[in-house]
Structures are given as structure tokens and as C-alpha cells.
Amino acid sequence: MKNEGLIYRISGPVVTAINMKAAMYDVVRVGTEGLMGEVIELHGDKAVIQVYEDTSGIRPGEVVVNTGETLSVSLGPGLLTQIYDGIQRPLPTLEKEMGVFLTRGVDADAFDLEKIWTFEPQVAVGDTVTGGQVVGHVQETDTIVHKIMVVPGKGGVVKSIESGDFNVTQTICTFEDGSEMQMLQEWPVRTPRPYQQKYPPVIPLVTGMRILDFLFPLAKGGAAGIPGPFGSGKTVTQQSLAKYSDAQLVVYIGCGERGNEMTEVLDEFPHLIDPNTGKPLMERTVMIANTSNMPVAAREASVYTGITIAEYYRDMGYDVALMADSTSRWAEAMREISSRLEEMPGEEGYPAYLSTRIAEFYERAGRVETLNGEDGSITVIGAVSPPGGDISEPVSQGTLRIVKVFWGLDAGLARQRHFPAINWLNSYSLYPQSLDQWFRDNIAQDFPEIRIELSGLLQIESELQEIVQLVGSDALPVDQQLTLEVARMIREYFLQQNGFHEVDAYCDINLQYKMAKAILAFQESAKAAMASGAQLGDVVNVPSRSDLMRGRLNKGYIDTIDDMVKTMLDEIAATVEDN
């Protein structure tokens, strides 16, 4: 196969080359600077290429070299703690070489190929190993053991394997057929890694955010969408999920976000301490930073790079949370490339295959039995940034057709400084039915009923507010006035949560249950007191109720809440005696 051609046409990141033979998705080197690109369309000996770098300055007639390989990521010890661009070039390494502005045509290894790792075999000479099977362990960070796996589709009878110190390119194992194995492996980003079977979603991803865990839970291996207008808190919500969810690893993709937002993430994450281990959070994190001013084609590739890295750690048996912020910018990259290819536009100029691409991405989530028999999961949480907050646009609708959890952010709540600004009337989760048994077994038997009761009170409040706006709350019967007070307590005490407060940023799920029970205990006690002649104002204004609500910001709240509730109920009962 002839592996060279010539540039015939240039249209932004899309380049057409002639006189070359290529296959779809072959990686090519474009022009004298060797810019990296990928074949995305073929017409005879004409190949249409999307280039992952800025194409200004290249000219027709320059050479295009076909590498014959597909776009792949390097997988092995050293991935964790790294910060990559959309095509897995390590940004800190590039910065050392060329400063803060990246030069075109520059490559760098995904991680240090010469770094020595201590390899401990888990199989012996004479064992037969198959694709995906673990042959040894490496302690990658203080908290994560990296399991060295046979590449899917490979394997054989082990001829030799030894423990010791190796870099990722040295042979650690040989097979009787003469093949060798290293710790480093390559995997094409557009090909999902195989597994044995996918499990139903029956274990929740505990996030520490009350509105998510309690009202709209997400299952491990599930997919969630967070649509919301500018400034409503998508990025902060995703960062909180990355910091506090009970996933063992985090892959964070900053896909086309503003540079200043990504800078905050990159500055903050290395200094964050993992609340579960006491070690730096970066020790279990891989970050992919592809800001809005970076080449548009690399943005399109960044989500595939991220999900492939996530699948690799899933295959080791880990629970991985993948944050994509934001898939709207990814879709915009597809739209720009599609328009330069002169494809027939779909709704709002997006390509006709937009929904298919969104579905392909989210369907790579899941809790699975891996090839080596372990359980691993990828939970995908994608932010969507609809123009003007209008979720009827194609990216939001394409996302909602696939995901089973919708956390709808509301600009009105954000303006009221109610955070997280997730609208409890518009949001939904389709997982509670399959997760209820886990909550019954691990938290409390009546957990699902408490959730339904809280949701019902918020719904009733919404209906009553329409009347209140017309005639005022004083015109309502006292039982409905009490309902409004209880719903306000749910909103201000339970749903509102400060993502930057050292105590309130994370709420243990057992504490969430106790807080919800405290609200319902207040309601029952207040009803009983009022039935016995107590006044609504006296019941609502008991001092311990305020203490209970403010107490959530104090350390050790989970140990004191029961006593606070008891004091509150005693004070409410005393309002009857006063009357």
C-alpha cells in the first residue's frame, strides 16, 4: 500500500489528500510539520482528514504520510495523576519543552516510558492465560493497585514470568508461541473494550449530595445528564461528584470548556485531599483538558480518549466515574467538522448522526463482569450547555433519550443562591425501583417511602404556591400553611447544600436519612400539637428547630442530630401546654 499522498485542499481542520491509499480512521501525518490527523472519509484515492492541530500555514502539495494505525491511547502504569490534551499528549511534559504555548507537530509519550515499576506476578510458568486476564500487579499510586492484563484477543501458555523492577516497554512475560508481553498496551479509542456480561443497575453511586442521593439517585454503571444554562453550576456539580462520589477512580474530561474554568480545575485538583483515603485526589484521577481555544478536531477525539482510559481501569475491577464537561462543546466540534465536509445538515446544523454518536458514547457506560471475572463499572455524567438554557435543542434531547437520570439545573434557583440549583420538579431518575432494595438493606427499610413522602410534599408545595401568589399564605387553612413550612424546611435544610463548605460539601447517606426523618418527625409532631390547640406560629418558631437546621454545618452532626430532634419534639409538645 502506498503510504504517501499530497495535500489537495484545506478547509480549516479538514484536509483533503490525493494519490494515497488509506483505510477509515487511519492516523496520518500532514504537511512538513507532521501534524497529526485521522482519515474520516474516502473517495477513491482521495482521503479526507480531520487534523488534530491548527492547520494555518500548511499548503497544497505538501506530503501526507499514512502511518497505517488507528487513533489509539497508551495504557499502562503511569496514567493516574496525568493531565492530557484531547489526543493523550501530557500537558505538563509539553510545557517543560516549549512553555505555555504549544507548538504544532510535537509529540510526547503519554507517560514516562523509562520509569521503573515493581512488578509482582499473579500467574506461574505453565499457566494458560487469556485476553483480559491479570498476570501481575504494580503499585501505581499509594491508593491504586494497577493490574497488568493480557491484551484482549491475545494470550497463551506462560513460558517465563518474573518479578522485579521494569519499565513499561520491557518484557515481563513470554508465551510458548514466542510472543512477549509488556506492561504497555495500545487500544483504539473508537473500539469499546470487551467484557463478559453487563449487570443490571442495582448499586447506587453515592455522591454525598442530598438532592442527588435521596431524590434522584444514580446507579453505578449508569448515565446521567446535567443540562443547564450558563452560570447555573454544572461544572461545580461535576467537580463535587469527582471529589466525593464513592467511585474508586475519576476520569475528568474538560471538553471545550473555557480556559479559566479548566485552569481552576487543574489548580484545585492537585491540592484536594481524598476524604476516603487522606491522600491527594489526583492519585486516583486522570484529567483530559481540551479547552475551547484548542483545535476543534482534538475536542471531538477527547471524549473517546477519556472513555477508553475509563474502560481500561474498569477491566481491572474498579468503579470509575467519568465526567464530561461539556458534551455540547463536543457536539459543536462535530457540527463544525461536518459543515466543512459539506454533509447534509440536520436540526440546527448538527450532523444527522448526532444522536447516534451521543448514544455510542453513553452506551459505553455500565457495570460489567470483566474478562478476568471481576466486577467493574463506568458511570458517565455528561454536562450539557444548551444555548439560553433551552433543553429542546438537539444535544439535550439526544442526551435525554439515552440517559436514565436527568438533573435539570435552573437559572432561577441559581439567582436565588439556592445551590445545587437542581430543579426538583423537572428532574427525574429512572433507577429508584432497581436501587430501592439496596437502600432497604443498607440504610433503612423505609428509605424508599421517606423519599416518596418528601417528593410528594415538594409537589404539593408547588401547587399551593400558585394559590399563595393570588391570595397570600394567610388565606390558606392552617394544615396547608404547615405543609408550606415543612416544604420550606426540605428546601432550605435538606436540598440546599454548600459545595465549598468543609462540612456541608459532603453528606453521609445515613445522615441524609436522619435529616429526612427529622423533617417528617417535625411535621407529625406539629400536626399533633396543632390538633391539641397549639398555634402554628408557636410550633414553627421553637428554638431547637433553628438549631437543628443550622447544626448541619457543624462537625459531628450525625452524632448529635438524634438529641436535637428529641429536644425539638419536646419543645413542640410544650407549645400545647402553653395554650
Query: Distance between CA atoms of 297 and 303, rounded to whole angstroms?
Result: 11
Instruction: Note whether 323 and 391 are same-domain residues.
Output: yes
Read off the amino acid at residue 417: R
**Which of 183, 210, 236 lies at the terminal end of a domain, its last residue?**
183
Residue 220 C-alpha cell reads as 453505578
Does residue 101 belong to any structural domain of this protein? no
Report the CATH number that the domain containing residue 134 is assigned in CATH: 2.40.50.100
Query: Sheet containing 180-182: which strands, arranged edge to edge?
Result: 128-130, 155-161, 171-175, 180-182
Q: Give every CB contact of residue 382 below 8 A, 6+ residues apart in sequence.
A: 223, 224, 225, 226, 324, 325, 326, 327, 361, 362, 399, 403
Q: Give every CB contact of residue 306 below 8 A, 6+ residues apart in sequence.
A: 251, 253, 286, 288, 322, 324
Which structural domain range is residue 63 located in?
Answer: 4-71
Does residue 435 belong to any structural domain of this protein? no
Instruction: Note whether 467 and 506 are same-domain residues.
Output: yes
Percent with pLDDT over 90 in the chain? 70
Query: Distance between CA atoms of 453 and 209, rounded to whole angstroms?
Result: 19
Q: Is the pLDDT of residue 1 over 60?
A: no
Q: Is the pLDDT of residue 303 over 60?
A: yes
Does residue 190 belong to any structural domain of this protein? no
Does residue 517 belong to any structural domain of this protein? yes
Q: Which of 509, 473, 510 is nearest to 488 (CA)?
A: 473
Alpha-carbon dihedral sign for residues 64, 106, 304, 15: negative
Does residue 92 belong to any structural domain of this protein? no
Does residue 474 belong to any structural domain of this protein? yes
pLDDT computed for residue 356 by the predictor: 94
Q: Give every CB contact of residue 498 below 8 A, 6+ residues apart in sequence.
A: 419, 504, 505, 553
Instruction: Note whether 400 and 257 are same-domain residues.
Output: yes
Residue 542 C-alpha cell reads as 421553637
Residue 350 C-alpha cell reads as 448538527
Of 40-54, 312-326, 467-481, minimum mean pLDDT range? 467-481
Instruction: Note whether 352 and 387 are same-domain residues.
Output: yes
Instruction: Note whether 420 and 530 are same-domain residues.
Output: no
Q: Is the peptide bond before 11 cis (omega within 30 degrees of 0)?
A: no
Instruction: Give the model confidence (pLDDT) of 498-518 as tens digits.
Output: 988 889 999 999 999 999 999
Specify whether the CB–CB gap between 324 and 380 falls below 8 A. Answer: yes
Query: Distance between CA atoms of 201 and 368, rounded to whole angstroms?
Result: 10
Report the CATH number that the domain containing residue 214 is assigned in CATH: 3.40.50.300
Query: Distance between CA atoms of 36 and 54, rounded to whole angstroms?
Result: 10
Instruction: Note whether 168 and 222 are same-domain residues.
Output: no
**Which of 160, 183, 206 lies at the terminal end of a domain, its last residue?**
183
Of the pLDDT bands very low, low, confident and very high (cuts 50, 70, 90), residue 430 is very high
Instruction: Note whether 244 and 315 are same-domain residues.
Output: yes
Report the CATH number that the domain containing residue 27 is assigned in CATH: 2.40.30.20
Q: Is the pLDDT of residue 95 over 60?
A: yes
Instruction: Note whether 279 and 417 are same-domain residues.
Output: yes
Q: Which of 83, 66, 87, 73 is nearest to 23 (CA)?
A: 66
Q: Is the pLDDT of residue 215 over 60?
A: yes
Instruction: Note whether 328 and 237 are same-domain residues.
Output: yes
Q: Is the pLDDT of residue 482 over 90?
A: yes
Residue 343: count other Cβ atoms within 10 Å of its Cβ: 14
Mean pLDDT value of segment 392-409: 93
Alpha-carbon dihedral sign for residues 188, 191, 197, 203: positive
Of the pLDDT bands very low, low, confident and very high (cuts 50, 70, 90), residue 299 is confident
| Residue 245 CB burial class (10 angstroms; 0-12, 13-18, ≥19) | buried
Strands 145-149, 134-139: pairing kind: antiparallel
Angle between the N-to-C axes of helices 327-340 and 354-362, in degrees from 0 to 180, rounded to the nearest 10: 140
Q: Is the pLDDT of residue 271 over 80?
A: no
Could you give the angle at the alpha carbon of 230 between the alpha carbons of 337 and 226, nearest 5°?
Answer: 80
pLDDT computed for residue 579 by the predictor: 59
Number of domain units in the chain: 4
Instruction: Note whether 313 and 179 are same-domain residues.
Output: no
Q: Can you point out the beta strands (E) in 115-240?
A: 117-121, 128-130, 134-139, 145-149, 155-161, 164-166, 171-175, 180-182, 185-188, 197-198, 223-227
Q: Which of 208, 205, 217 is nearest to 509 (CA)?
A: 208
pLDDT computed for residue 578 by the predictor: 65
Could you give the angle at the alpha carbon of 109 between the alpha carbons of 75 and 334, nearest 5°?
Answer: 75
Instruction: Please give the helix or strand (H or E) that residue 562 lies within, else none.
Output: helix 557-578
Mean pLDDT value of segment 286-291: 88
CA distances from 443 to 218, 245, 262, 431, 558 (A): 16, 17, 37, 17, 14
Instruction: Give the model confidence (pLDDT) of 12-69 as tens digits.
Output: 899 999 998 899 999 999 999 999 999 999 999 999 999 998 898 899 999 999 999 9
Does residue 361 belong to any structural domain of this protein? yes
Does residue 29 belong to any structural domain of this protein? yes
Mean pLDDT value of segment 68-72: 92
Instruction: Give the model confidence (pLDDT) of 156-201 as tens digits.
Output: 999 999 899 999 999 999 999 989 999 999 999 999 999 999 999 9
Instruction: Note whether 125 and 159 are same-domain residues.
Output: yes
Report the CATH number that the domain containing residue 513 is assigned in CATH: 1.10.1140.10
Mean pLDDT value of segment 407-425: 92
Instruction: Give the model confidence (pLDDT) of 350-372 as tens digits.
Output: 999 999 999 999 999 999 999 99
Q: Which residues pair with 173 in a beta bridge?
A: 161, 181
Instruction: Note whether 485 and 516 are same-domain residues.
Output: yes
**Which of 183, 208, 226 lies at the terminal end of a domain, its last residue?**
183
Specify whether the CB–CB gap between 167 and 113 falls below 8 A. Answer: yes
